[in-house]
Amino acid sequence: MLFIPAMAGFADFGPQASKHELSRANRLSYGKPGNDFSRRLEARRSFHRNSHPPPTPHSYFTATMSGGSAVSLINPNSEVARRGQALQLNINGAVGLMEVVRSNLGPKGTIKMLVSGAGDIKLTKDGKVLLSEMQIQNPTAAMIARAATAQDEITGDGTTSIVMLVGEFMKQADRHISEGLHPRIITEGFELAKKESLNFLDSFAIKKEIDRELLISVARTSLRTKVHRALADTLTEAVVDAVLTIYRENEPIDLHMVEIMAMQHRSEIDTRLVRGLVMDHGARHPDMPKRVKDAFVLTLNVSLEYEKSEVNSGFFYSSAEQREKLVESERKFVDEKLKKIVELKRHVCGDTNKGFVIINQKGIDPLSLDVLAKNGILALRRAKRRNMERMQLICGGVAQNSVDDLSPDVLGWAGLIYEHTLGEEKFTFVEDVKEPSSSTILIKGPNPHTIHQTKDAIRDGLRAVKNTLEDGSVVPGAGAFQVALHSHLLKFKDSVKGRVKAGITSFAEGVLVIPKTLAANGGFDPMDVLVTMQEEYEEGHIVGIDLQSGETLDPIAEGIWDNYRVVRNMMQNSSVIATNFLLVDEMMRAGRSSLKADNGME
């Protein structure tokens, strides 16, 4: 929490004390006993302390100067922080948030434990998860957190990096502002540096043929920043193959077609890719087959249960025979649907051992389940709509909203469909399909913490692969881009005239926070590593940091790649956010509560 105390001196005399009274008080020995002015001054102090209690540390905004803000003329009860104090509030909030997430950056980053009010525990080093679920009260830090999580929604990565860059840009700018340089000059330099950085990124990025090996390198780089090395290497191929399964050239990539299914079982190292579909429910009849080979698949969106009328109605009977007829008439509508399904099954399967499976988005009542079980049909009810879409992409066929026009052409096919029981839970696997356009990543883990952490990592890995396929280019990682950009901006600064050079210098020094933090989290001296990297870069080498040894490495040869769009959005957004905060000269509490109180409306 941040608390801006009232200014010394003014608080003692109250907001109405004049300069004449203050200077006179300084000249007089008002502590002398019997002094009339001393008594009047002490009475004024006592009245002011009783009627104007000090601000609580829960408030971020404090009216520090009476009449110093135009807002106080409109609303005397307004809480305002002006100029230097508003700027310092923003800088402290940005730097404070940066210090919180600093240790999470990179493959050697640490893990944070999040404990909810209900006692739920979550372990994570994912910046998006941390910023989304952490309780942030500082308004500046909360705004940065929202902007950073938006970056994750767009690109899937770079959340921690954008927080680091914003905090460091503000920190570097504070050095020049404290020496009297106007924030506007700094922001103009930031704008020039941002444009030059984006131009430099376009030339620094490498356009390569997008093959499976490159995608594996990109996915590995992303996953190693989320989970430990052994698990990251296990997940890499599963993530890449899952995206390649749904990828079609010149068509948008829909990552929702990759199902992520969790099974609390065994170890996270056993996580694997299923080239098919895994559903978290099974058959609802004990006599239905548990394992079906060479199966025809019928996907339905048809209710196979008795439905009540939409209006209130009643049926009355006076004998058992009438009741039997009533039940028979109620079932007749559903039985007609079942009859058509059974006829289709007999037509396509005949006397062979081929199976028949129904995946229905709506309900199937017990009597209908019994009819299907007697005819050797495996039926699953209330499947998710998204799984219905995936089922068509995996098995083929066409989903039916009616049973009136059933034909063999609407059926899909799967080589193997079986049910797996784990404790009280059932899972249905659809495998051995022809050219699937959807797939499932089956996550395993011994506890919910591990499963959640693995799931977050997989989602980021999927988007990293997707970004690479769509961008067609990659950026050397391991801090190589930041070191190269720093050197380029310092040379660019020499071509610029005026005081905006200070802003360019602040921007250039700010981007170095990424390689410095990577080195520090790896247990190495940041300055030693940075100097070595800069020396090698000046010799004409693209150089990154080896977090295993602390030495330099060639990220291109080692296959350490960052996403082009992640880096571009990161540089763009961090500069814009820092610029906006540096130009804030007044902070006030928004809302109309104080006005309502004055007007007697509350």
Residues in the chain: 602
Is the confidence at residue 459, as pLDDT, over 50?
A: yes
Determine contact, residues 225/127, Cβ cutoff 8 Å. no
Model confidence at 248, pLDDT cuts 50, 70, 90, reads confident
Question: pLDDT by residue (tens digit) across 258-279?
Answer: 989 998 888 888 899 998 889 8
Q: What letter represents residue 214's amino acid?
A: L
- Amino acid at the residue 566: V
Q: Per-residue DSSP letters for 498-513? A: STTHHHHHHHHHHHTH
Q: What is the pLDDT of residue 26?
A: 42
Instruction: Compute the C-alpha angle 146/150/151, nearest 5°.
Output: 120
CATH 3.30.260.10 domain residues, the chain: 209-275+446-471
Which helix (DSSP H) or strand (DSSP E) does residue 226 occupy?
none
Statement: 277-435 belongs to CATH 3.50.7.10: yes
Among 334, 295, 532, which residue's Cα sits nearest to residue 416?
Answer: 295
Protein fold of 209-275+446-471:
GROEL; domain 2 (3.30.260)
Q: Which residue has the tokens 């229905």?
A: 360
Cα end-to-end span (Å), the chain: 29
Residue of higher predicted confidence among 153 and 576? 576
What's the rounded Cα separation, in Å, for the pair 83 and 553?
46
- pLDDT-derived band at 74 (thresholds 50, 70, 90) equals low
Q: Is 398:391 a contact under the CB 8 Å cutoff? A: no
**CA–CA dist 101, 86 (Å, integer):** 23
The amino acid present at 179, given as its one-letter code, is E
What 3 state SS string does 460-488 have?
Answer: HHHHHHHHHHHHCEEEECCCHHHHHHHHH
pLDDT for the residue numbered 75: 57
Is the CB of residue 455 less than 8 Å from the CB of residue 223?
A: no
**In whole angstroms, how far apart are CA 87 and each of 140, 183, 221, 508, 587?**
10, 9, 37, 21, 9
Residue range 365-387, pLDDT digits in tens = 888 888 889 988 999 998 888 88
- Which of 265-279, 314-328, 523-537 is least confident? 314-328
Q: What is the mean pLDDT of residues 7-17?
A: 37
Contact 404, 410 (CB under 8 A): no
DSSP helix/strand/coil, 427:
strand
Q: What is the pLDDT of residue 328?
A: 75
Every domain range in the chain assigned CATH 3.50.7.10? 277-435
Provide the pLDDT for residue 59.
45
Q: Which two tokens stand for residue 65?
A: 């100067």
Which DSSP category does 6 fall into? Answer: P
Domain with CATH 1.10.560.10 in the chain: 85-206+476-587
Q: What is the pLDDT of residue 77?
A: 56
Return the amino acid letter for 592. Answer: R
| Residue 134 pLDDT > 50 | yes
The enclosing H or E element of 310 equals: none
Confidence tier at 404 by pLDDT (50, 70, 90): confident
Instruction: Output the CA–CA distances (angstroms, integers) from residue 244 to 238, 239, 312, 582, in the order listed.
Output: 10, 9, 53, 44
How far, in Å, are 198, 307, 315, 318, 330 from residue 323 at the CA level?
A: 78, 18, 10, 8, 11
Dist CA 391 CA 407 (whole Å) = 18
Determine the pLDDT at residue 194: 92
15 pLDDT more than 60: no
- The answer to whether 478 and 544 are in contact (CB under 8 A) is yes
Q: Is the dihedral of CA 138, 141, 143, 146 positive or negative?
A: negative
In our burial notation (b when 16+ CB lie closer than 10 A, e otherwise), range 146-173 reads ebbbebbeebbbbbbbbbbbbbbbbbbb
Domain 85-206+476-587: which CATH class? mainly alpha
Local structure of residue 148 (DSSP, 8 states): H
Q: What is the mean pLDDT of residues 235-247?
A: 92
- Cα 74 from Cα 130, distance rounded (Å): 40
Give the pLDDT of residue 571.
92
Question: What is residue 139's predicted lDDT score, i.e. its pLDDT?
Answer: 86
Model-level pTM? 0.76
Partner residues linked to 561 by β-bridges: 476
Span 332-357, pLDDT tens digits: 888 888 888 889 988 888 878 888 99
